[in-house]
Amino acid sequence: MSDHDPMSPGSIPPSRRGGSFFGVPADGKTRWERRKERIRAEIERNRAGDYRVPTWVLTAILVAIVVGFGLFIAFA
């Protein structure tokens, strides 16, 4: 018989180490708590002057410019 313990930390594949168990992450924080932390961190960065315009805002502005130019050409 071998002395291999299937429950030893070395026997757990790396993809499962530190993962979640039934949706609860290993650090004990829920998805909502992690989201609140990310939002707080973003607000702190913005207050410090490290503000970046979100990609979706830049995309909306680009679409508005292209549609406006297209309408200008169409109705001119």
Q: What is the pLDDT of residue 64?
A: 98
The pair of three-digit structure tokens given for residue 7, joined into one six-digit string: 């429950």
Q: What is the pLDDT of residue 16?
A: 55
Domain total of the chain: 1
Across the strands, what pairs with 21? 24
- Flag whether 33 is in a domain: yes
- Flag whether 69 is in a domain: yes
Which structural domain range is residue 46 located in?
26-75
Nearest-CA neighbor of 34 among 44, 24, 19? 24
- Flag whether 35 is in a domain: yes
Give residue-wise pLDDT tens across range 9-64: 566 555 555 555 666 666 778 889 999 999 999 888 888 877 778 899 999 999 99
Nearest-CA neighbor of 54 among 70, 67, 62? 62
- Flag whether 21 is in a domain: no
- Flag whether 55 is in a domain: yes
On the CB side of 24, CA atoms within 13 Å amount to: 3
- Flag whether 40 is in a domain: yes
- Flag whether 61 is in a domain: yes
Residue bearing tokens 């679409």: 63
- Flag whether 19 is in a domain: no
